[in-house]
Structure 1
């Protein structure tokens, strides 16, 4: 290879090297800053193809999409000094590229770490002024709204990021107090169950007493009505008997004597001692009854 060809190849290689270090592309999903000897000279590079001076300018690119920082669960104390384990996360994106670069050196991991610390500090302050009931259910949404408003200004001022949202994923009791809380809740539920059972027993006894009283009244009324009906029937039967027997008193006396004879001599070993001229043998002596 001649020296001329070698020189041409070297020039071409230099041109390719300078061209590759002079041109860069900024994507739609990226944010970036243009540096000149480490100083920010363009904090808002627009998407597209751009050029820079090799060895003088440098470009730092950041992800411009919404990012997620997942904080580690932390122990916080409520207003009544009850411990809670709170697990949270936040959504953010780069807003002020100059502030973001100077605060984090353009490192997303460092930005997430700093933002996570501020979220935990904000959560600690918000939980400390609320009761455990308010944190768990009563004012949980309001807690996140207040925290997002407070942290958004801090995050933008200190880190150059916009806080899109802050959410609490889970709230748990620490393991060392979960058992005692469970026992207390169990005792409260048992107490409530006993109260319900005693109220039910009292109500049942009242219903049973009312039913027994009603049964007694119904039976008494039924017995009274039955006795009245029975008395009326007996009176009617007596009247009918009396009317029937008054039509022939002698026949009635005769049938009564026969019935007395039948009942007196039912057993084979029965013995009856009476006077022969007793009234008992009236119809045995004379079928006409002495007439």
Structure 2
């Protein structure tokens, strides 16, 4: 008879233990939680549970936990058409957190769904902003302003999901491989054309320098020849004056000196042969000495 109350007590104790365990729950650091009653948010005055030990009504209330830390979104690269009709591959990187758990639960309910929606927001914002800029802008210092504009738009749109966007980055914004090859070939052709033009200009300049040098050389030679002729004429005049003075002072010696000069010019090479009569005036000084007065 005593065993029945003991069994009932044990059952009651076990039931109370189960109820107690079901009533208590813990929110870990880096988490935030909502208590749901029949699928609706309970405790309207304080719906978001911070880290620590909390109590809920067993069997009728459930706990939904969300990550309170910064989360990363790293979607695959997307192709975007710029304002100058250039097509580029854009690789974005987004950091966000669940800022409003109630709105988050009401709009997307799960982190997986939130990532899907946020990926669409980032993609649409990137397409809209980049569609208004050109490729040189993306590759220049304007890139920081472009990222800021994308982040601002993503942040505004993500608020409706209960998300706070901390950062949006264009990790990579490159031309597609096929476009890059075409542009590389075009740039290579352009560089070759510029090199050919530079070589042609260099050859033309070299020709101009050579022509100028040749012209200066001709002028210098002509001037030198003119100066030489002037000096030669002056020398000949001086020689003629000296000859005239010598002839006036001693005509016989002057005639003798002129004959010696003629001998030197005519017979100086040792290979010249003259056929003359013995009484020729050319060799008159070989037969007799000049008569000096």
Aligned 8 A contact 1:86 1:168 in 2: yes
Name the structure 2 match of 1:40.
41
In the superposition, relative to structure 1, how do residues 232 and 9 fare at CA in structure 2: closer, same or farther (>3 Å)? farther
Which residue in 1 is equivalent to 2:83? 79
Inter-partner Cα distance in structure 2 for 1:201 and 1:142: 47
Cα distance between partner residues in 2 of 1:201 and 1:268: 54
Please name the residue that 1:183 is paired with: 185
1:130-279 matches, within 5 Å, as 130-137=133-140, 139-157=142-160, 159-240=161-242, 243=245, 246-258=248-260, 260=262, 263=266, 270=273, 272-274=275-277, 276=279, 278-279=280-281
2:96 match? 92
User: In structure 2, how many angstroms separate the alpha carbons of the residues matched to 1:290 and 1:247?
Assistant: 11
**What secondary structure sits across from 2:58 in the alignment?**
coil
SS in 2 for 1:274: coil
SS at match of 1:221: helix
What's the CA shift for 1:116? 0.8
User: Secondary structure of 1:149's match?
Assistant: helix
Aligned to 1:59: 63
**Contact 2:155–2:165 at 8 Å: present in 1 too?**
yes
Count of matched residue pairs: 287
Unaligned runs of 5+ in 1: none
Q: Residues 225 and 64 of structure 1: is their aligned pair in 2 closer, same or farther, counting only changes over 3 Å?
A: farther
Q: 1:32 to 1:211 in 2, by over 3 A?
A: farther
> Following TM superposition, by how much is the alpha carbon of 1:111 offset from its aligned partner in structure 2, in angstroms?
1.7
SS in 1 for 2:285: helix
**How big is the shift at 1:189?**
3.1
Instruction: Indicate the SS of the match to 1:220.
Output: helix
Seen in structure 2, the aligned counterparts of structure 1 residues 192 and 19 have a Cα distance that, compared at 3 Å, is: farther
The structure-2 alpha-carbon separation of the partners of 1:13 and 1:240, relative to structure 1 and needing over 3 Å to count, comes to farther
CA distance in 1, matches of 2:260, 2:204: 66
TM-score, normalised relative to structure 1: 0.77
What is the CA deviation profile of residues 215-243 of structure 1, one whole-angstrom value per residue up to 9, with x for unaligned ones? 33333333333333444444445545555
SS at match of 2:49: coil
- Show CA shifts across 1:183-236 (max 9, x none): 333333333333433443443333333333333333333333333344444444
User: After the TM superposition, which residues 271-290 of structure 1 pair with which residues of structure 2 at under 5 Å, given as runs?
Assistant: 272-274=275-277, 276=279, 278-289=280-291
Distance 1:238 1:55, change over 3 A: farther
TM-score by length of 2: 0.77
Q: Structure 1 residues 51, 219: closer, same or farther in 2, change over 3 A?
A: farther
Per the TM alignment, residue 12 of structure 1 is displaced from its structure 2 partner at its CA by: 7.2
Matched residue SS, 1:190: helix
- Between the aligned partners of 1:46 and 1:248, the Cα distance in structure 2 is 141
Cα distance in 1 for partners of 2:282, 2:41 equals 150
Q: Which moved more, 1:204-213 or 1:267-276?
A: 267-276
Deviates more, 1:249-258 or 1:119-128: 249-258
Contact preservation (8 Å) 2:94, 2:165:
yes
| Distance across 2 between alignment mates of 1:128 and 1:51 | 52
Between the aligned partners of 2:194 and 2:267, the Cα distance in structure 1 is 77
Aligned to 2:127: 124
Once superposed, what is the RMSD of the aligned Cα atoms? 3.7
Q: Give the stretch that moved more between structures: 260-269 or 185-194.
A: 260-269
